[in-house]
A and B are shown apart, each in its own frame.
Chain A
Amino acid sequence: MADDAVIDTPEHAPVVTDGGVRRRDFINIAAVSAAGVGAVSVLLPLVSQMAPSADVLAESSTDVDLASIQVGQGIKAVFRSQPLFVRRLTPKEIAAADAVPVASLRDPETLAQRTKPGKTEWLITMAVCTHLGCVPLGIVSTENRGEFGGYFCPCHGSQYDTAARIRKGPAPKNLEVPDYAFTTDTAIKVG
């Protein structure tokens, strides 16, 4: 359709308003806009159905009993269907973590920032490598802990130190510390 303001149709005399806008232009714009809004409102449920459903989101918190974990030991627990590392650091491991200049780290955080006050020996992190999501090795001392004595991810070789901070390899971030709180001196609630 040409953009001449006036087009003759057999049945109707051209209707032109003051601004040179025809009725048909208005109808065109209104119809296309309505269809657009319609399309978007159809797309919305189609896209949003893929997001986690209510039951997945409702997955509860996890309680972990720490009483049986000796210094230098660690366990794997489950939190939101993902593995969780609960590790009791040795004084040597704490010292090693504290000795690292924070500014030199890829994701600068101190051990104190990654643990609870007065509970520095309890290192609680997700067991999900921040590279592409494998479970790193090293929660038990017989597994490969990498060059920095923390965790080693076998998938693409990321290495974490004794504060579970990324030190080498392709992972961009430290192992994530989930929300948790001590419920008693020897028990935590995660989530």
Chain B
Amino acid sequence: MSFPWAQHYKPSHPLMVYLDEKLPLPRFVYNAVGAGYPVPRNLNYAWNFGVLAGFCLLIQIVTGIVLAMHYASNAGIAFDSTEHIMRDVNYGWLLRYAHANGASAFFAVVYIHIFRGFFYGSYKPPREMIWLLGVVIFLLMMATAFMGYVLPWGQMSYWGAQVITGLFSAIPLIGGALHTWLLGGFAPGDAALNRFFSLHFLLPFVILGVVILHIWSLHIPGSSNPTGVEVKTESDTVPFHPYYTAKDGFGLGVFLILYCAVVFFAPNQFGHPDNYIPANPMQTPAHIVPEWYFWPFYAILRAFTQDFFIIPAKLMGVLAMFSAILVWFFLPWLDRSPVRSGHYRPLHRKFFWVLVIDVLALGYCGGAPAREPYVMISQVLAIYYFLHFLVILPIVSSLEKPEPLPFSITEAVLGKDDHAVLTA
């Protein structure tokens, strides 16, 4: 589980000795995020985002549980109960803004976490299981956020529920029946709202469970690092505590400044004004868009307007949208380069930045109205997106000549000077 030079837990206080015998929880913490867990010494700030994501999950669970004490998941009063939280409940406005913007922050952090993986090849063996679990977490987050957004039962909530559950009606043969079953009716209503609330309450705890598996699996090989060269000796590592507890603590402070700035000074920046209009099943808002974190995928959905041989446009769009995420599952096997880090992969690194621009541009189109030129641009961007993963990455990984790797992490950090080796 850990490197042989890991420090050992030695409780001194009699109470801790007793506890260590009966329930070695402190020992577990010591070995997981304490001095007993050696970590590469050269991790940069890109490695802060896992801890930040965990913190976001905590924010969502804590604010969510207290919101649920005041929220009523009945289609007749859901909207009013949300306004009740905003106007009447003590600090209700703060809790709701913290939760709604917490979702945005969570996605921002997780996107950076994922793109860190793309750049540094973190998905490569021996860490492929960590990556696969991460994709599962991302899918669960999307489901959770979607159902949460439905709860306030405003216009965007309602029509978001209609459109997103409508995706399932694209499935051949069983689609229509599945759609009705998911909603518990022919259109979103009380039945749908109640089950979404129930699942929205449950799923974060499922996410928590998968996060535990994700970290468990991480602690077998340990973290990768910016060079992508595996740990060889003790001098390549430092103990997690105090080195990375401090670094993560600093990152958390910066994150909280940004997060609080949004919560207190621009709490509706990422929301949509139409969601302050109560749900009206008779009238679709002129311009419906999901929350910003779904825009790239929404653009891919809308890019398919023509039937594709025998596949109808509707099904094609839905398949493409889901495939855009499912393709990540295959990444460890699509990228065959023996070198992990983009720092030593001249071609891969360039295409990485093209992908970043492609996804940002897709996001822009996904938030724009369904008209030209956005549809046409989305089509080009969507094709490139899939080309990147399915064609460019495999080809680049076999053509590219990687730059020379340092012998070890220590060498990368300190040069070849033997005297500079850390002794701890």
Chain A interface residues toward B at CB < 8 A: 50-53, 56, 76, 78, 80-83, 106, 128, 130-135, 154-157, 168-172
Contact = CB atoms under 8 A, between A and B. Distances in A.
B167 A132 contact: yes
Given A52-B185, A134-B288, A135-B282, 19 more contacts: A50-B184, A52-B180, A56-B189, A81-B185, A106-B307, A132-B163, A132-B164, A135-B283, A155-B163, A155-B284, A156-B302, A156-B305, A157-B302, A157-B371, A168-B305, A170-B305, A172-B170, A172-B312, A172-B314
Nearest to B316: A170
B304 interface: yes
Contacts of A106: 307
Interface string B149-160: 000000000010
Looking at A81, A106, A171, the one whose CB has the most chain B CB atoms below 10 A away is A81
Interface of B: 159, 162-167, 169-170, 180-182, 184-187, 189, 191, 195, 281-284, 286-288, 301-302, 304-305, 307, 312-315, 317, 369-371, 375
Kindly list the 4 A-B residue pairs having the minimum CB-CB distance in the complex, ordered from nearest.
A132-B166, A134-B284, A133-B166, A132-B163
25 contacts: A50-B181, A50-B182, A50-B184, A80-B186, A81-B187, A81-B281, A82-B281, A128-B187, A130-B314, A132-B162, A132-B314, A133-B162, A134-B159, A154-B284, A154-B286, A154-B287, A154-B370, A155-B159, A155-B370, A157-B302, A170-B304, A172-B170, A172-B312, A172-B314, A172-B315
A106 B169 CA distance: 18
Nearest to B166: A132
A124 B189 CA distance: 24
Nearest to B286: A154
Contacts of B307: 106
Contacts of A134: 159, 162-163, 284, 288
Nearest to A136: B284
Nearest to A56: B185
A135 B371 CA distance: 17
Contacts of B305: 156-157, 168-170
Nearest to B162: A133
B181 A51 contact: yes
A53 B191 contact: yes
A133 B315 CA distance: 14
Given A133-B163, A154-B284, A170 B185 contact: no
A125 B184 CA distance: 23
A170 B163 CA distance: 13
A135 B312 CA distance: 21
Contacts of B282: 76, 78, 83, 135
Nearest to A135: B284
Chain A CB count within 10 A is highest, among B166, B182, B307, B371, for B166
Nearest to A171: B314
A78 B283 CA distance: 12
A51 B301 CA distance: 27
B101 to A, nearest CB: 26
Contacts of A52: 180, 184-186, 191
B375 A157 contact: yes
A175 to B, nearest CB: 14
A55 to B, nearest CB: 10
A34 to B, nearest CB: 28
Interface centre among B181, B185, B187 (most CB of A within 10 A): B185
Contacts of B185: 52, 56, 81
Contacts of B281: 81-83
Contacts of B315: 172
Given A132-B167, A169-B305, A170-B302, A155 B288 contact: yes
A172 B406 CA distance: 56
A172 B283 CA distance: 21
Contacts of B312: 172
Given A157-B371, A157-B375, A170 B317 contact: yes
Given A82-B187, A83-B281, A155-B370, A50 B195 contact: yes
Contacts of B181: 50-51
Contacts of A50: 181-182, 184, 195
A87 B106 CA distance: 47
